[in-house]
Structure formats: structure tokens, C-alpha cells
A and B are shown apart, each in its own frame.
Chain A
Amino acid sequence: MTDTTQNLAGMKVLLVDDTPANIDVLKKTLESLGLNISMAPTGEVALNIAPRILPDLILLDIMMPGIDGFETCQRLKANEVTKSTPVIFISAQVEMAEIEKVFSSGGVDYLNKPFRQEEVLARVSARLEIVKLRQEKDELTSEIKILEEKS
């Protein structure tokens, strides 16, 4: 187990994709980091469960039946509970026109299908490291505040 794996183990990732084979590949890849995986087959399900499971990261397919990935992301960002959860889009091929939409709808990155294991691990790890650092910073800030109030 690498340092990164130890660091990220137990962090929660929500995979949103209507194709079970894609969930299979991502799940298998991300489980090597010891991550806690949830899945949603549609944007509607993702919007329902994300505020309850509070994932550290969401991997969101763009093309889905019902509401697509972009709209799902916009709605996640409009929700106070999920607005700061980073979203990485996944797509068969992110075209130039879509790249702008990835970021304007609130995404932080994107992954192209077919997935390359090394790329998935690198991008997801990098994003989760940032989340973890932010959580640690928030905890330290709270502790400092408490200490200041006591003194």
C-alpha cells in the first residue's frame, strides 16, 4: 500500500453513469485506493443520494438518459450541501465545445472514455488530496478558534 493509498483510504466517491460496465471499470480501479464507492445510474438518483452520503468527489457522466451530466452538476452546485463537492466529468470524448461547459457548469476536471487506469488514478488522487488538505485545514482552523476562545 502506497502513501497515497493510505492517505485516501475510506474517502467517499460517487460514480454517476447509466452504463454498468463503466461503473465496473471505475469501481475496480478506485478500489485499489481503498476508496468507499457509491453509484447512481441517473442524474436524478445522484441528486437524491449525494446530499445524504456526502461524497468527497463525484465522477459524473455527461450523456445520460433524463437529466444530463451538465444539468446534474448545476443542480448539485445549487444545493448548499453539495455545492463544494468537486465534480469530474466523464465522457466518450470531450469535444472542445464541451470543455467550456465542463467548467462553466461547475466541474473541476474531465476524463475521457475508454478509461486509462493510470489517468483515472492520477486525476482522482490529485483531486482527493486537495479535498483532504482542505478538510485538514478546516479542522485546524476550528481547533485554533477553540484555543483562542479559551485563552
Chain B
Amino acid sequence: MKNLLGLEYEYKEAVPDTDRANATPEVLDFSELKIPVELHTQLKGATELYQITEIETALQKLEQSSDDGRALAEHLQAYVAKYDMEGILEILGKVNND
């Protein structure tokens, strides 16, 4: 084919698939994490109602609240990007709140 058409192929290194469906957040032990109860309540309420802007606002607060909060917020970002509300609720169900 190359000779027949006189083409020069350019080869590129395969780029990792970062498609939203394949984004797999790193595994965390959620039962070890503690976050403030008011943030947990805010995040859960917003998620149940699919309120994206509210969820993002809550995640920003969570990120600044503590090391646990930051780890959880970073983890949940991948679920928000997929609009996976059930996934977020499932994780929130495992997390401790003060």
C-alpha cells in the first residue's frame, strides 16, 4: 500500500484513553475518611437532585476542609464528570461524617 500510493506513514505513540467512560478513579478506603456532616448533607442533597453547580460548589468546600476532604473531592470529580450520581451516592454512603 505504501509503495503503491507513494505514501509516507507517520507513527505516533498510542495515547492512553482518557474517555470519561474509562476513567477509573484510584481506589480509596471510604470508611477511613471523615468529612463534616454539613458538607456530607449538602453534597448528598445536591446529588439526589442532580444539581451539578451545587455539587461542584460542595466539592470545592470539601477540598478545602481537610486532607480526607481533599482526597474524597478529587475522587468524586471523576464521577461528576460522568454525571454518575448513583456512584457519588454510593460512595457517600460509605464515608463517615462528624
Contact = CB atoms under 8 A, between A and B. Distances in A.
B83 A38 contact: no
A27 B55 CA distance: 13
A36 B57 CA distance: 10
Interface in A36-60: 36-41, 45, 49, 52-53
Contacts of A23: 83
A31 interface: yes
A36 B51 contact: yes
B74 interface: no
A37 B20 CA distance: 20
B39 to A, nearest CB: 18
Q: Is the interface of B mostly helix, strand, loop or mixed?
A: loop
Contacts, number: 30
B54 A52 contact: no
Interface string A80-103: 000000000000000000000000
Contacts of A45: 50
Given A20-B20, A20-B83, A23-B83, A49 B49 contact: yes
B61 interface: no
Nearest to A31: B53
A30 B83 CA distance: 17
Interface residues of B, number: 9
Interface string B2-13: 000000000000
A36 B54 CA distance: 8
Nearest to A40: B50
A37 B82 CA distance: 15
Interface string B42-60: 0000000111111000000
A80 to B, nearest CB: 19
B32 to A, nearest CB: 31
B34 to A, nearest CB: 28
Contacts of B51: 36-38, 53
A54 B53 CA distance: 15
Interface of A: 20, 23, 27, 31, 35-41, 45, 49, 52-53
Which are the 7 A-B pairs with shortest beta-carbon distances?
Answer: A38-B51, A36-B53, A37-B53, A37-B52, A49-B49, A38-B50, A53-B49
